[in-house]
Amino acid sequence: MKFNTKTIHGNQHPEESTGAVMVPVFQTSTYAQNSPGNHKGYAYSRGKNPTRFALENAIASLENGTHGFAFASGLAAIDCVLRTLNPGDEIIAGDDLYGGTYRLFTELFQKYGLSFQYVNMDKPENVVNAISIKTKLIWIETPTNPLMKIADIEAITKMVKQINNTILVAVDNTFATPYLQRPLDLGADIVMHSATKYLGGHSDLVMGALVVKNNKLAEQLHFIQFAAGAIAGPMDSFLALRGIKTLHVRMQRHCENAMFVAQFLSSHPSIETVFYPGLTNHSNHEIAKKQMDDFGGMVSFRFKEDTKTAAFSFLEKIKVFTLAESLGGVESLANHSVTMTHGSIPEEERLKVGITDSLVRLSVGIEDIDDLIADLDQALSK
């Protein structure tokens, strides 16, 4: 199937007992058994639930994987990946990460004996040069949050596997979605999503997902999902399934609108820098063209007056855009990274990578572009 058809039909089937086209919400914790251990494939919903199982199959199809797993949040999905490691193992991650990921790494798993290196993944050799005998996992975000850096997934994976084929490569594909890039096809071992964002698409659920191809790895992740219990509930799974069915048409408009927004901001006299991989002056624009089918709906920018005052003035004036956490919904959102999504990262670390006081991140929605540009124009006016 082509991708647009997969969002509606990929690994998705009418419910067997009734023929319901949309899989019902199986709001149940347990299932009747004919005799001990003899059941219809479902025993207890922490292990398997029909609504969640349908969603997991659908997400696996979109990423060209064989096994999908849905969790209570994106961070719960990352937590599951890290639980495959042992004390003393090392993770190499990008230096521009979602603040919640950084917090999970440094304030939780570092205490349990894992170590982390943060490198600029703009160049694959930076990753390779950081590898040691302790390295067990490469954690890639691309595009990154919030600076929209692009990492070459295929090049990094090839170089890492040549050094040590047992090192896992995981990609946070939240910003791009499988509509724009499919990391498993580029050699990665694990794809992670905050399904709260574009997969759900309507700002009405919190969920995470993992997709893999390797059977042994899938067994390990499923055991951790079952044993640790951070599963997605059936109602959220139903909402995510519904959201996925329109992913392709939503992403088309997100990408179109974001390009217009990025171009408008680039020409505005009060803006210093615009971060968007679709712009030709983006440092890794050519890599983005190579591995992505379009450039996504996320745009960040920094004011010439690099102060919180400049950012707050803008954020307090917006009317169509909404000042709020999160991203990827049909509505346009604006975010001040320093005080919101990346508030848990120490100032010194933020400034090293360029997350400064005036940085604003936009999640460009699917509204009429004329209304979005007019809102930005009036909010930027003195």
Catalytic site positions = 46, 98, 172, 197
- In order, the DSSP letters of 277-295 are TTSTTSTTHHHHHHH-SS-
C-alpha–C-alpha distance, residues 179 and 230, integer Å = 26
C-alpha–C-alpha distance, residues 16 and 125, integer Å = 50
Three-state DSSP class for residue 235 = helix
C-alpha–C-alpha distance, residues 302 and 73, integer Å = 29
Three-state DSSP class for residue 146 = coil
Sheet holding 67-71, edge to edge: 67-71, 208-212, 190-194, 168-172, 135-141, 90-94, 115-119
Spatial CB neighbours of 67, under 8 Å, sequence gap ≥ 6: 56, 60, 211, 212, 213, 215, 218, 221, 222
Contact between 25 and 35 (Cβ < 8 Å): no
C-alpha–C-alpha distance, residues 300 and 8, integer Å = 31
C-alpha–C-alpha distance, residues 83 and 224, integer Å = 7
Mark out the alpha helices in 10-123 (DSSP H runs): 50-62, 74-82, 99-103
Task: Name residue, tokens 């939240």.
Answer: 174
Cα 365 vs. chain centroid, distance in angstroms?
A: 16
Intra-chain end-to-end CA distance of the chain, in Å: 51
Spatial CB neighbours of 165, under 8 Å, sequence gap ≥ 6: none
Could you count the other beta carbons within 10 Å of the beta carbon of residue 261?
23
C-alpha–C-alpha distance, residues 121 and 157, integer Å = 12
